[in-house]
Amino acid sequence: MKKETAVKNLDTIITKVEGARLKVSEHHIVKIIGISKYSQSQDVATLYDAGQRAFGENKVQDLKVKSEELNELPLEWHFVGRLQKNKINNLIDLNPTLVQSIDSLELAQEFNKKLQIKNKKISCLLQINSAQEDSKTGVLPEEAVNIYKKILDTCPNIRLKGVMSIGAHVEDREIIKESFRTTKKIYDELVPLGAKYCSMGMSSDFELAIACGSNMIRVGSTLFKD
Protein backbone atom coordinates (compact mmCIF):
# COMPACT_ATOMS: atom_id res chain seq x y z
CA MET A 1 0.00 0.00 0.00
CA LYS A 2 1.29 3.43 -0.94
CA LYS A 3 1.53 6.20 1.67
CA GLU A 4 -0.88 8.41 -0.34
CA THR A 5 -3.45 5.60 -0.45
CA ALA A 6 -3.17 5.02 3.30
CA VAL A 7 -3.60 8.72 4.03
CA LYS A 8 -6.60 8.92 1.70
CA ASN A 9 -8.28 5.81 3.17
CA LEU A 10 -7.76 7.00 6.73
CA ASP A 11 -8.98 10.52 5.93
CA THR A 12 -12.12 9.13 4.30
CA ILE A 13 -12.95 7.02 7.35
CA ILE A 14 -12.18 9.83 9.81
CA THR A 15 -14.44 12.20 7.85
CA LYS A 16 -17.30 9.68 7.94
CA VAL A 17 -16.72 8.95 11.65
CA GLU A 18 -16.72 12.68 12.41
CA GLY A 19 -19.98 13.18 10.54
CA ALA A 20 -21.62 10.25 12.32
CA ARG A 21 -20.37 11.06 15.82
CA LEU A 22 -21.33 14.74 15.62
CA LYS A 23 -24.90 13.69 14.87
CA VAL A 24 -24.83 11.85 18.21
CA SER A 25 -23.03 14.55 20.21
CA GLU A 26 -19.94 16.69 19.88
CA HIS A 27 -18.71 14.96 23.06
CA HIS A 28 -19.11 11.48 21.58
CA ILE A 29 -15.64 10.07 20.87
CA VAL A 30 -15.17 7.07 18.57
CA LYS A 31 -12.01 4.95 18.48
CA ILE A 32 -10.99 3.41 15.16
CA ILE A 33 -9.42 -0.07 15.16
CA GLY A 34 -7.81 -1.07 11.86
CA ILE A 35 -8.46 -4.76 11.23
CA SER A 36 -5.33 -5.98 9.52
CA LYS A 37 -6.12 -9.70 9.17
CA TYR A 38 -5.92 -9.73 5.36
CA SER A 39 -2.97 -7.34 5.19
CA GLN A 40 0.80 -7.41 5.52
CA SER A 41 2.92 -5.90 8.28
CA GLN A 42 4.21 -3.33 5.80
CA ASP A 43 0.65 -2.07 5.22
CA VAL A 44 0.20 -1.66 8.96
CA ALA A 45 3.46 0.33 9.10
CA THR A 46 2.28 2.53 6.23
CA LEU A 47 -1.00 3.22 8.00
CA TYR A 48 0.93 3.96 11.19
CA ASP A 49 2.86 6.62 9.24
CA ALA A 50 -0.50 8.00 8.08
CA GLY A 51 -1.62 8.34 11.70
CA GLN A 52 -3.47 5.12 12.61
CA ARG A 53 -2.35 3.61 15.92
CA ALA A 54 -4.70 0.76 16.90
CA PHE A 55 -4.92 -2.48 14.93
CA GLY A 56 -6.76 -5.76 15.39
CA GLU A 57 -6.08 -9.36 14.42
CA ASN A 58 -8.40 -12.36 14.62
CA LYS A 59 -5.78 -15.13 14.80
CA VAL A 60 -3.27 -15.43 17.63
CA GLN A 61 -0.50 -16.57 15.27
CA ASP A 62 -1.03 -13.58 12.92
CA LEU A 63 -1.00 -11.22 15.89
CA LYS A 64 2.30 -12.76 17.04
CA VAL A 65 3.94 -12.42 13.61
CA LYS A 66 2.84 -8.83 13.01
CA SER A 67 3.47 -7.57 16.52
CA GLU A 68 7.00 -9.04 16.41
CA GLU A 69 7.74 -7.67 12.94
CA LEU A 70 6.50 -4.23 14.01
CA ASN A 71 7.78 -4.18 17.59
CA GLU A 72 9.70 -0.95 16.92
CA LEU A 73 6.39 0.89 16.52
CA PRO A 74 4.26 1.88 19.55
CA LEU A 75 1.17 0.10 18.20
CA GLU A 76 -1.95 -0.78 20.15
CA TRP A 77 -2.95 -4.36 19.35
CA HIS A 78 -6.47 -5.75 19.78
CA PHE A 79 -7.48 -9.39 19.48
CA VAL A 80 -10.89 -9.60 17.80
CA GLY A 81 -11.26 -13.23 16.73
CA ARG A 82 -12.64 -16.36 18.26
CA LEU A 83 -10.28 -17.47 21.03
CA GLN A 84 -9.57 -21.18 21.27
CA LYS A 85 -8.67 -22.39 24.75
CA ASN A 86 -5.43 -23.98 23.56
CA LYS A 87 -4.26 -20.57 22.31
CA ILE A 88 -4.94 -18.64 25.54
CA ASN A 89 -1.37 -18.86 26.89
CA ASN A 90 0.06 -17.71 23.54
CA LEU A 91 -2.27 -14.72 23.51
CA ILE A 92 -1.43 -13.74 27.09
CA ASP A 93 2.28 -13.75 26.20
CA LEU A 94 1.57 -11.22 23.42
CA ASN A 95 -0.03 -8.87 25.98
CA PRO A 96 -2.64 -7.25 23.68
CA THR A 97 -4.16 -3.92 24.71
CA LEU A 98 -7.68 -5.35 24.47
CA VAL A 99 -9.20 -8.79 23.87
CA GLN A 100 -12.57 -8.02 22.29
CA SER A 101 -13.94 -11.54 21.97
CA ILE A 102 -14.63 -13.14 25.35
CA ASP A 103 -17.73 -14.99 24.17
CA SER A 104 -18.76 -17.05 27.22
CA LEU A 105 -18.42 -17.22 30.99
CA GLU A 106 -16.55 -20.51 30.59
CA LEU A 107 -13.93 -18.91 28.31
CA ALA A 108 -13.58 -15.95 30.70
CA GLN A 109 -12.93 -18.27 33.64
CA GLU A 110 -10.40 -20.33 31.70
CA PHE A 111 -8.67 -17.13 30.52
CA ASN A 112 -8.63 -15.80 34.09
CA LYS A 113 -7.12 -19.06 35.40
CA LYS A 114 -4.23 -18.82 32.92
CA LEU A 115 -3.77 -15.12 33.69
CA GLN A 116 -3.49 -15.90 37.41
CA ILE A 117 -0.84 -18.54 36.76
CA LYS A 118 1.17 -15.98 34.76
CA ASN A 119 0.40 -13.22 37.28
CA LYS A 120 -0.96 -10.94 34.55
CA LYS A 121 -4.08 -8.84 33.95
CA ILE A 122 -5.58 -8.10 30.53
CA SER A 123 -8.42 -5.82 29.45
CA CYS A 124 -11.32 -7.57 27.71
CA LEU A 125 -14.76 -7.02 26.21
CA LEU A 126 -17.69 -9.40 26.50
CA GLN A 127 -18.93 -10.44 23.05
CA ILE A 128 -22.70 -10.40 22.67
CA ASN A 129 -24.55 -12.22 19.89
CA SER A 130 -27.10 -9.44 19.56
CA ALA A 131 -28.18 -10.57 16.11
CA GLN A 132 -28.85 -14.04 17.59
CA GLU A 133 -27.32 -15.70 14.53
CA ASP A 134 -26.03 -19.27 14.67
CA SER A 135 -22.95 -18.28 12.67
CA LYS A 136 -21.82 -15.86 15.39
CA THR A 137 -20.40 -16.52 18.84
CA GLY A 138 -21.17 -14.50 21.93
CA VAL A 139 -23.51 -14.54 24.89
CA LEU A 140 -27.22 -14.08 24.34
CA PRO A 141 -28.52 -10.55 24.99
CA GLU A 142 -30.86 -11.67 27.78
CA GLU A 143 -27.93 -13.29 29.62
CA ALA A 144 -25.31 -10.60 28.95
CA VAL A 145 -25.71 -8.44 32.06
CA ASN A 146 -25.67 -11.43 34.42
CA ILE A 147 -22.64 -12.98 32.72
CA TYR A 148 -20.82 -9.62 32.77
CA LYS A 149 -21.43 -9.37 36.53
CA LYS A 150 -20.28 -12.96 37.06
CA ILE A 151 -17.02 -12.27 35.18
CA LEU A 152 -16.48 -9.19 37.35
CA ASP A 153 -17.08 -11.30 40.46
CA THR A 154 -15.11 -14.42 39.54
CA CYS A 155 -12.35 -13.27 37.20
CA PRO A 156 -10.16 -10.70 39.02
CA ASN A 157 -7.39 -10.89 36.42
CA ILE A 158 -9.70 -9.84 33.60
CA ARG A 159 -10.22 -6.09 33.39
CA LEU A 160 -13.69 -5.99 31.87
CA LYS A 161 -14.01 -2.81 29.81
CA GLY A 162 -17.34 -3.17 28.01
CA VAL A 163 -19.00 -5.08 25.20
CA MET A 164 -18.53 -6.01 21.57
CA SER A 165 -20.95 -7.26 18.93
CA ILE A 166 -21.20 -7.81 15.19
CA GLY A 167 -24.20 -6.33 13.38
CA ALA A 168 -26.81 -8.62 11.86
CA HIS A 169 -25.61 -10.17 8.59
CA VAL A 170 -28.54 -9.01 6.45
CA GLU A 171 -29.33 -6.36 3.86
CA ASP A 172 -32.14 -4.81 5.87
CA ARG A 173 -30.68 -1.77 7.68
CA GLU A 174 -33.49 -1.79 10.24
CA ILE A 175 -32.59 -5.30 11.39
CA ILE A 176 -28.90 -4.31 11.61
CA LYS A 177 -29.88 -1.20 13.56
CA GLU A 178 -31.96 -3.28 15.95
CA SER A 179 -28.99 -5.56 16.68
CA PHE A 180 -26.85 -2.50 17.46
CA ARG A 181 -29.53 -0.99 19.68
CA THR A 182 -29.73 -4.24 21.62
CA THR A 183 -26.00 -4.09 22.35
CA LYS A 184 -26.13 -0.38 23.25
CA LYS A 185 -28.98 -0.97 25.72
CA ILE A 186 -26.90 -3.65 27.47
CA TYR A 187 -23.83 -1.38 27.42
CA ASP A 188 -25.80 1.45 29.06
CA GLU A 189 -26.78 -0.92 31.84
CA LEU A 190 -23.12 -1.84 32.37
CA VAL A 191 -21.66 1.69 32.40
CA PRO A 192 -22.22 2.00 36.20
CA LEU A 193 -20.12 -1.19 36.53
CA GLY A 194 -17.20 0.42 34.70
CA ALA A 195 -17.98 -0.41 31.05
CA LYS A 196 -16.09 2.02 28.81
CA TYR A 197 -16.29 0.58 25.30
CA CYS A 198 -19.24 -0.32 23.12
CA SER A 199 -17.41 -1.89 20.17
CA MET A 200 -19.67 -2.33 17.16
CA GLY A 201 -19.58 -1.44 13.50
CA MET A 202 -17.36 -2.65 10.66
CA SER A 203 -16.53 -1.33 7.20
CA SER A 204 -20.04 -1.85 5.83
CA ASP A 205 -22.05 -0.48 8.76
CA PHE A 206 -19.90 1.65 11.09
CA GLU A 207 -21.85 4.88 10.47
CA LEU A 208 -25.05 3.11 11.44
CA ALA A 209 -23.32 1.64 14.50
CA ILE A 210 -22.11 5.08 15.62
CA ALA A 211 -25.64 6.46 15.19
CA CYS A 212 -26.76 3.70 17.57
CA GLY A 213 -24.12 4.64 20.14
CA SER A 214 -20.94 2.74 19.23
CA ASN A 215 -17.72 4.34 20.52
CA MET A 216 -15.31 1.84 18.94
CA ILE A 217 -15.39 0.59 15.34
CA ARG A 218 -13.43 -2.19 13.63
CA VAL A 219 -12.65 -1.39 10.00
CA GLY A 220 -10.58 -3.55 7.66
CA SER A 221 -11.40 -3.50 3.96
CA THR A 222 -12.10 0.25 3.74
CA LEU A 223 -8.88 1.13 5.56
CA PHE A 224 -6.57 -1.30 3.78
CA LYS A 225 -7.91 -1.04 0.23
CA ASP A 226 -5.35 -0.23 -2.48
Domains in the chain (CATH in brackets) are 3-224 (3.20.20.10)
Segment 105-112 shows an average pLDDT of 98
| β-pair partners for 38 | none
What is the rounded average pLDDT of the residues 47-72? 97
The pLDDT assigned to 44 comes to: 97
In the predicted model, is pLDDT for residue 226 greater than 90? no
pLDDT value at position 135? 87
pLDDT for residue 113 is more than 90: yes
Q: What is the pLDDT of residues 2-12, one digit of tens each?
A: 999 999 999 99
Alpha carbon separation from 133 to 40, 99, 130, 157, 169 (Å, rounded) = 31, 22, 8, 30, 8
**If you average pLDDT over every residue of the chain, what do you get?**
97
Q: What is the pLDDT of residue 42?
A: 97
**pLDDT attached to residue 202:** 96
For residue 105, pLDDT beyond 90: yes
- Band (28; pLDDT cuts 50, 70, 90): very high
Task: State residue 151's pLDDT score.
Answer: 98
